[in-house]
Amino acid sequence: MGRPGRLRAWFRRLDELHEAYFVGRWRSGLRREARRQEELLLALLFLEALGVENPAGYQTLELYPHLVESFHAWHRRAGLERFPEPGVCC
C-alpha cells in the first residue's frame, strides 16, 4: 500500500472515530428530532393544501414536489392505508 492508500485509510479511520464519538452517542435523539421536524413541516404543507393558512407558505412552496413521498411514508406510519382526502396523495 502506497502513501496515498495509507493516507486514505487514516482519514477513513479518523472519520469512523469522529462518527463514533460525536454522532454515535446522540444518533437516536437526532433521528427522533429530525423526524419530528419533518412531520411538522409535512403537516404545515398539507394543511395548507387543504385550505388551512400556513404562516410559512411562501418559503415552503417549492418543497411540495420533494415532500410528497415523505408524506406518503408519514401517513402509512400513522396507520392510514390511503390518505382520506382525495387528490392529495396515493
- Distance from C-alpha of 63 to C-alpha of 72, rounded to nearest angstrom: 15
Per-residue confidence band for 89, with pLDDT thresholds at 50, 70 and 90: low
The predicted structure's pLDDT at residue 36: 93
CB contact set of 85 (below 8 Å; sequence gap of 6+) = 50
Short-list 47, 41, 30, 83, CA closest to 66: 41
Asked if residue 51 lies in contact with residue 45, where contact means CB atoms within 8 angstroms, the answer is: no
In order, the DSSP letters of 37-48 are HHHHHHHHHHHH
> Is the pTM higher than 0.75?
no
User: What is the reported pLDDT for 68?
Assistant: 78
* pLDDT at 90 (0 to 100): 66
pLDDT digit string (tens) for 64-74? Answer: 777 777 878 88
Q: What cell does 42 get? A: 409535512
Instruction: State residue 11's pLDDT score.
Output: 93
Q: Are 70 and 38 in contact (CB under 8 A)?
A: yes
pLDDT tens digit sequence for 9-65: 999 999 999 888 887 788 888 889 999 998 888 887 788 788 887 677 677 777 777
Give the pLDDT score at 27: 84
